Amino acid sequence: MEVIKKIKNELKKAIIGQEKMVDALLIGLITEGHILIEGVPGVAKTTAVKTLGKVLNLDFKRIQFTPDLIPSDILGGEIYIIEKDEFRVKKGPIFTNLLLADEINRAPAKVQSALLEAMQERQVTIGEDTFPLDEPFLVMATLNPIEEEGVYNLPEAQLDRFLMKVVIDYPDEKEEYDILKLVVSKEGISNDRQEPPPEPQQVATKEEIINLKSALKEVHVDKEVEEYMVNLTMATRTPEKYGIPKEYIRLGLSPRATINLYKVSKAVALINGKDYVSPSDIISYIKDVFRHRFLVSFHAEAEGITTDNIIDMIVEKVPMP
């Protein structure tokens, strides 16, 4: 669609490469899903969300998750006003359109769980009052690799709230060079006498983003394609049926995985300018939808088999329509 092309063109003015992350943010906005991103520092995660907010004229807030954070630092709380002898609600940074939860696994589970109601119900309860969140509302959380010191595992309930877990890596050589040229030209430290590149501008409104949800309903999904999605999920519960060793998987996927795969596949088709879902749309994001939702067994870990490896086996074994 034209509005999606405009948004992506503006984002490219500030972000070199990382198309998967940019598309994931757009998919999250269209489907009302939240995105978990695992990646090394300095790969434009914060820049992507801030630029998206600017391009769409949406409110943006960032929370740095630390071990000493408490739930009220995110949600807000009731403050006692001495002069008026009353309590007043002070809303926290979660009341925004785009929330960047930076290094979410550096805070303990109690703090991470403060996001659960907001992510699922699109509302926040403070004391006896419940406040709805503005539309659209998107949480993009960044994750440190669990091997690093000072990090906590995310609870299963928290992980399941995320539409996708996207793993991003360093840019390639050409992208790295383009990033260098972009930054030095903006900061005026380049030897070139060229004008600095244009800044991203607003090209869409929040109303247009909300209207994209209606466009999503028009994307057609054949019955055979729907059955293919179901079979991909079922392969994590009964892997032996598809020739995959059952001892590799400790916990299979819930129905929410199938639902989210359906939503993401329709959004991928929409972003690519199609009015129907093909199996390639499903496969392009199946790892991002599945990888954080099921657990590999200790037996698989001992053999060096990862979640992504098992998803590759599932895609290979489940017949494609």
The pLDDT-based confidence of 192 (bands split at 50, 70, 90) is low
**Mean pLDDT of all residues in 86-99:** 88
pLDDT at 312 over 80: yes
* HEC secondary structure over 194-235: CCCCCCCCCCCCHHHHHHHHHHHHCCECCHHHHHHHHHHHHH
Cα torsion 180, 186, 192, 197: sign: positive
CA dihedral 296, 118, 93, 131 (to 10 degrees): -170
Give me the DSSP letters along 235-252: HHHSGGGGT--GGGEEE-
Distance CA 19, CA 197 (A): 19
| Percentage of the chain lying above the pLDDT 70 cut | 94
Q: Which residues face 99 on adjacent strands? A: 61, 139
What pLDDT was estimated at residue 187?
66
Asked if 134 and 128 count as a contact pair (C-beta separation under 8 A), the reply is no
Asked if 58 and 47 count as a contact pair (C-beta separation under 8 A), the reply is no
DSSP classification of residue 133: P
What's the mean pLDDT when you consider all of the chain? Answer: 86
The pLDDT-based confidence of 38 (bands split at 50, 70, 90) is confident
pLDDT at 148 over 70: no
What pLDDT was estimated at residue 196?
65
pLDDT at 188 over 70: no
| Percentage of the chain lying above the pLDDT 90 cut | 28
**Mean pLDDT of all residues in 218-240:** 94
The pLDDT-based confidence of 189 (bands split at 50, 70, 90) is low
Instruction: Tell me the residue type at 102.
Output: D
Tokens 């009052």 sit at which residue?
A: 129
What pLDDT was estimated at residue 116?
85
What pLDDT was estimated at residue 94?
92
Least confident of 148-152, 187-191, 304-308: 187-191
Least confident of 60-69, 119-128, 168-177, 259-268: 168-177
The pLDDT-based confidence of 198 (bands split at 50, 70, 90) is confident
Asked if 159 and 257 count as a contact pair (C-beta separation under 8 A), the reply is no
Nearest of 277, 244, 274 to residue 262 by alpha carbon: 277
What pLDDT was estimated at residue 206?
81
| Exposure of 167 in the CB half-sphere (CA atoms within 13 A) | 10
The pLDDT-based confidence of 236 (bands split at 50, 70, 90) is very high
For the chain, the distance separating the N- and C-terminal CA atoms, rounded to the nearest angstrom, is 27
Nearest of 238, 232, 212 to residue 32 by alpha carbon: 212
pLDDT at 49 over 70: yes
DSSP classification of residue 95: S
Please state the pTM of the whole predicted model: 0.86
- 223: alpha, beta or left? (left if phi > 0; alpha if psi -120 to 50): alpha
What domains appear along the chain, each with residue ranges and CATH number? 2-187 (3.40.50.300), 218-317 (1.10.8.80)
pLDDT at 212 over 70: yes
